[in-house]
Amino acid sequence: MSAPESHPNLLSAEKTLLVVVDMQEPFLRNIFERERVITNVCALIAGANALRVPVLGTTQYVARMGDVVTEVRRLLPGRQPILDKMTFSCYADPAFAAEVARSDRKQILLCGIETHICVSQTAHELIAAGYQAHVAADAVSSRSEANYRLGLEKLKQGGVLLSSVEMALYEMLRKAGTSEFREILTIIK
């Protein structure tokens, strides 16, 4: 007897692309729960790397706003360039849209900042383009708690699937007893 088919709303390591949105110091400086966001984004990237899930990072106007913060940058795969954009929606940038298409992944897991601007617009446009958008709610934030919460609510209303870092990693992991499971355990602790 073969394994049952997984529910389509559960993340699959083979179908997922992780997108890390605009983790730059000028944006993070006044972010609500900054340390939570950095810690959880780093855990999500480390978990994606352990599960061999491709990771795509973005910056907003890097010439003015600077590169991704060091804690996050060191975990991003070196072979994949970070895509710089001027649009709030990552998906509105043609280079980003081309990378997502090239990945051949239909589940896009988002983390980063800000929830109510770039993350929200990206997720909504991904859905409009036929992708399944997921957001790790504990790995996103905004400058104010109110905008963070409103952003999550709008995402939910727009059909985006909300999860947590741990939930997303365990969905992609699917089973215990593997070397990846042991690595995820050390990341989640």
Residues 31-80 pLDDT 10s: 999 999 999 999 999 999 999 999 999 999 999 999 999 999 999 987 67
Rounded to whole angstroms, the Cα distance separating 112 from 22 reads 6
Q: Which of 15, 42, 84, 85 is catalytic?
A: 85
pLDDT, tens digit, for every residue of 115-163? Answer: 999 999 999 999 999 999 999 999 999 999 999 999 999 999 999 999 9
Beta bridge partners of 156: none
Q: Which pair of tokens denotes residue 104?
A: 């051949």
Report if residue 47 sits inside a domain.
Answer: yes
Rounded to whole angstroms, the Cα distance separating 79 from 57 reads 12
**Domain containing residue 20: CATH number:** 3.40.50.850
Structurally, the chain folds into a number of domains equal to 1
Report if residue 136 sits inside a domain.
Answer: yes
* pLDDT over 70 at 2, yes or no: no
85 is catalytic: yes
Report if residue 11 sits inside a domain.
Answer: no
Phi, psi of 4 (to 5 degrees): -65, 155
- Domain span at residue 20 reads 16-188
Phi, psi of 15 (to 5 degrees): -115, -5
- Evaluate the CA torsion angle 181, 156, 97, 66 in order and state its sign: negative
Query: Helix, strand, or coil here: 108?
Result: strand
111 is catalytic: no
Residue type, 27: F
Q: Determine the pLDDT at residue 111.
A: 98
Q: Determine the pLDDT at residue 156.
A: 98
Q: Which of 42, 90, 111, 118 is catalytic?
A: 118
154 is catalytic: no
